[in-house]
Amino acid sequence: MNDKFSKIIRFIKELYPDENPVPLHAPRFMGNEKKYLNDCIDSTFVSYVGKYVTEFEEKIKNFANIKHAIAMVNGTAAIQIMLIAAGIKKDEEIITQSLTFAATAAAIRHASAYPVFVDVDKSTLGLSPESCEIFLKKYTKKTKNGLINKVTKRKIVAIMPMHTFGHPVNINEIKQICEKYGLILFEDAAESLGSYYNNNHTGSFGKASVLSFNGNKTITTGGGGMILTNDDDLAEKARHLSTTAKLKHPWAFIHDAIGYNYRLPNINAAIGCSQMEYLAYILQNKRETALLYDKFFSEINITFFKEPKNAISNYWLNTILLNSQDERDAFLKYSNDLAVQTRPAWTLMTYLKPYSDCFRIDVPNAKWLEERIVNIPSSVRINNENQKR
C-alpha cells in the first residue's frame, strides 16, 4: 500500500515542484490584480460603491450567459438572499443533498427555511433525482396549501442541488421533478464556475443560483459570492435587500425592509475583474491537470473521478476514490505528513448536530462516497509562462 501512496506523492510533487507544502487549492494572481487594487485605493472607492462591482457583475453575466448577476460578500450570504428574494418563507422545506459543504444547509436555515437531505448519485457526486423521487413519493402529499411533508407537516417548496467539486449534477432530470411537483429549482453552483451541462453554464437552469469566490475557488475575490438569475423581480429584490433595503433618495435614509449589508466591496470586485480576464486560461490549466491525474491514476488502478456524462467540469477539486475508509484515513495521514495537502469529503449533513431537526432519508451513496473520497491538490500549476506576480 505504501508503495502506491509514495508513487502518488511523488507524482503530485512533480506537478507542483515549487510548492512546499503543496496546497489543496491556492489562489493565483497572474494578471492585473495589483493594478486594479491600487486604482481602488487611489480613487477612494473601496466599499460597495464603485465601478469594479458593476464590471465584475457584467463579466460574470456574459460568461455564464445569464440576465442578472448580483455580487455579494460571500456565497453563503448569497444563498440566503437568493432564497429570501425568491419569497421562501419561514419553516418551508428545501430538498438538498446530504453530501455538501455546510454552507448550503446553513444558508437555508439563515433564510428561516429547513433543508431536507436526500442522497447523491455515484456518477455525479451531486443530488440524485431518484432519491428525490423516493422522498417525494413516500413522504409528501398534495394539499390545497401545496406539497406537505407528511412527517414534519412543513411545506416543501424547492429543490437545491449542488455541483460537487465542480461536477454538474443531472440537472435535466431534477428540473423535470421540479416541474412535476410544482417546486422551484435553485442551484448551489458555488463550486462550479466554468462547468457546463449540455453546453449551458451551471447555475442557469432554475429560478436562481449562487457562485462563490472564496480564496479556495476556481477564481477568487478574497471573499465573495454572486446570485445569478434570469428573473427581473428576484434580481431587483436581491440587490435592494443586500444593500440595506434603502430607498433611492439624495439624502434621506428610508429603508422599506429589514435589510442586509451583504454587497461585495469594490476592492474585492477589483480582484475578481482581473481574475475573469484569464478565467479561460485557469480552466484550461485545471483541465490539463485533471487529464494528467486521470492517466496516472488509471495506471495504478485507483479511481479518479471524471466529469459526468453530458457535462464539462471545471475540475475545481480533483477527487480520487480509495477502497475503504481505512485506506482513505491512512492516505490522508501519509500525504499530509509529507506536506501534500489532501482532505476527505465533508461530514454528511445527515450526521451534523445543528441539522438534527431537519428531515432526511437514507443516503447510502453519500455514505459510501464519504468513506472513500479524497480531494488532492488542484491549484493552477505554475510554469515559466504564468509565473506568479
Ligand X SMILES: Cc1ncc(COP(=O)(O)O)c(C=O)c1O
Which residue's C-beta sits nearest to ligand X? 75
Which residue, 75 or 203, is less far from ligand X as judged by CB?
A: 75
Q: How far is the CB of 105 from ligand X (least distance, A)?
A: 9
The half-sphere exposure of 117 on its side-chain side, counting CA atoms within 13 A, is 26
Partners of 115 in beta bridges: 94
Which residue, 140 or 268, is less far from ligand X as judged by CB?
A: 268
Q: Which of 92, 188, 307, 370 binds ligand X (CB under 6 A)?
A: 188
Only one residue has cell 494528467, namely: 292
Q: By CB under 6 A, tell whether 191 contacts ligand X.
A: yes
| Residue 69 grid coordinates | 448577476
**Which residues in the 86-105 window bind ligand X by CB under 6 A?**
100-101, 103-104
Q: How far is the CB of 142 from ligand X (least distance, A)?
A: 30
User: Three-state SS for 304?
Assistant: strand
Q: By CB under 6 A, tell whether 75 contacts ligand X.
A: yes
Question: Which of 158, 204, 209 lies closest to 184, judged by CA?
Answer: 158
Partners of 328 in beta bridges: none
Q: By CB under 6 A, tell whether 187 contacts ligand X.
A: no
* Listed ranges 73-81, 148-156, 350-358, 373-381: which one lies at the site for ligand X (CB under 6 A): 73-81
- Sheet strands side by side (includes 311-312): 200-201, 196-197, 311-312
Q: Which of 9, 32, 74, 320 binds ligand X (CB under 6 A)?
A: 74
DSSP labels for 236-299? HHHHHHHBTTBPP-SS---BSS---B-BPPHHHHHHHHHHHHTHHHHHHHHHHHHHHHHHHHHH
Question: Which of 213, 231, 286 lies closest to 52, judged by CA?
Answer: 213
Which residue, 110 or 175, is less far from ligand X as judged by CB?
A: 110
Name residue 261's amino acid.
N
Q: Which of 170, 204, 214, 350 binds ligand X (CB under 6 A)?
A: 214
Q: How far is the CB of 72 from ligand X (least distance, A)?
A: 8
Q: By CB under 6 A, tell whether 82 contacts ligand X.
A: no
Q: By CB under 6 A, tell whether 242 contacts ligand X.
A: no
* Listed ranges 1-9, 188-196, 242-250, 376-384: which one lies at the site for ligand X (CB under 6 A): 188-196
Q: By CB under 6 A, tell whether 375 contacts ligand X.
A: no
Q: By CB under 6 A, tell whether 262 contacts ligand X.
A: no
Q: How far is the CB of 75 from ligand X (least distance, A)?
A: 2
Binding mask 149-168 for ligand X (x = CB under 6 A): -------------x------
Which residue, 97 or 149, is less far from ligand X as judged by CB?
A: 97
**Contact residues for 326 (Cβ-Cβ < 8 A; gap 6+):** none
Cα(124)–Cα(141) distance, rounded to whole angstroms? 29
Q: Is the peptide bond prior to 161 cis by the omega test (within 30 degrees of 0)?
A: no
Which residue, 81 or 380, is less far from ligand X as judged by CB?
A: 81
Residues in binding contact with ligand X, number by CB under 6 A = 14
Q: By CB under 6 A, tell whether 275 contacts ligand X.
A: no
Q: How far is the CB of 145 from ligand X (least distance, A)?
A: 30
| Residue 366 grid coordinates | 453519500
* Cβ(147)–Cβ(181) below 8 Å: yes
User: Three-state SS for 313?
Assistant: coil
Question: Which of 359, 355, 349 lies closest to 155, judged by CA?
Answer: 359
Which residue, 70 or 190, is less far from ligand X as judged by CB?
A: 190
Which residue, 302 or 373, is less far from ligand X as judged by CB?
A: 373
Which residue, 169 or 320, is less far from ligand X as judged by CB?
A: 169
Cα(30)–Cα(379) distance, rounded to whole angstroms? 13
Cα(363)–Cα(346) distance, rounded to whole angstroms? 14
Positions in the binding site for ligand X (CB under 6 A): 74-76, 100-101, 103-104, 162, 188, 190-191, 212, 214, 225
